[in-house]
Amino acid sequence: MKIALFNLGCSKNIVDGNKMLGFLQEQGCTVVDDAAAAEVLLVNTCTFIESATKEAIDTIFAAAGVAHEEHKTLIVAGCFSQRYREEIAQEFPEVDLWLGVDDWEEGLRNYFSLHRPVSGYTRRLEEPLHSQYLKISEGCSHRCSFCIIPHIRGSFRSFSPDDLLAEAKWLESQGVRECIVVSQDTSFYGRDHHSSLAVFLERLVRETSFPMIRMMYLHPAFVDADLLALVAREERLCSYFDIPLQHISDSILSQMGRRPGEAGIYEVIQKIRDTVPDAVIRSSFILGYPGETEEDFEKLCDFIRWARLDKVGVFPYSPEEGTRAAEAEPKVPVEVAQERCEILMNIQRDISREKQEERVGKTLPVLIDRISDSPDYLFEGRTMGDAPEVDGRVFILSGDGEVGQIVPATIIDCDDYDLFATL
């Protein structure tokens, strides 16, 4: 049986989709990239925000057309399926099987009468093979007013550290050089079992030899002293802190159901800077949340100027069906939210450029991700301060190296977000 996967959404969901493929390969199925050559089409969906829901629907429609015309089996999995399958199944009669986020293995076994036991870790690895995600938990126990994830994925539950270490060792055996630790709330890991993220990371460092271990999706309320001390002393742990703060105004944070408040956020950023002097801090913010005043926005601008974060993403508020925030008042006009995004990014762009210019002339370790498509460069890579997909790149003009290597690169120029180097 030949299967083609349409994998949508965030890194966590991509891992889930690839685990489904790995399971099916264990059962004797063949994975193909060309949908025309497949007998089964598997759409792994996202529904985190409105645009993701639209993408899921569009992809299902497209796959349904192919499945109907060419008599293929169509399976829909992931967050969209979990959230809407009961109410939308009649609109997609071409879909043969709807799978939830927790029952996909049982569903696949029952539908295809699959009985082989699973041996080890067989998930499909994304390109580039040397950089892979390690998903360490499922769900989220925070009830942020704008987020639907707890309703879809359930409450937070940590995966077994022993199982995770075994998976990490398998990734290492496949040639992975950068292990990216992810979940809906990475910094909360272990707290549901009287442990902590720091305890797990210490084992990960001790029991593997990944030259780069990166954390993403840290909640500011759980970035504690133990975690900071561990990052400060372990050079294989990237001094990279991806902490979605969402806002700085106490009024907005309270309405969002976020903690800590303004004073606590200032304290967390200062502790990171004091404990890990070379820290790279990335964050994201929502602009135009219901009730956001000009004063709230100015507080956020002042914070950005003070914090001098290394990487920032901003998003206009998008009301999501089923969340408390969707009913909140007063609404902020879309054009006002967009204008505030532009103003904030203009402030951050100047900060980012200054930080980039500080790197020019330095020699930094760079992970080579790929041979460049541009004739102007040999390779493209990233520093320890740059995560894949969301951050800038290092364009390498000359020198010897191979994809997957970590090499010393001399930074010779920069723009607002990218670096240019020679080996």
Annotated binding site for [4Fe-4S] cluster: 10, 46, 79, 140, 144, 147
By three-state DSSP, how is residue 11 classified?
helix
Which residues on adjacent β-strands are paired with residue 413?
420
Give the separation between CA 92 and CA 74, rounded to whole angstroms.
10
Helical pair 294-307 and 262-275, crossing angle rounded to 10 deg: 10
Which residues on adjacent β-strands are paired with residue 240?
280
Query: 187: which DSSP letter?
Result: G
List residues forming the annotated binding site.
10, 46, 79, 140, 144, 147
Give the separation between CA 392 and CA 170, rounded to whole angstroms.
29
- Burial state string for 9-41 with b = 16 or more CB within 10 A and e = fewer than 16: bbbbbbbbbbbbbbbbeebebebeeebeebebb
CB neighbours (10 Å) of residue 100? 17
Pairing of strands 379-383, 394-398: antiparallel
Amino acid symbol at 1: M
Give the separation between CA 401 and CA 423, rounded to whole angstroms.
8
Angle 68-58-288 from CA coordinates, rounded to 5°: 165
- Burial state string for 240-273 with b = 16 or more CB within 10 A and e = fewer than 16: bbbbbbbbbbbbbbebbebebebeebeebbeebe
Give the separation between CA 411 and CA 363, rounded to whole angstroms.
6
Give the separation between CA 267 and CA 261, rounded to whole angstroms.
10
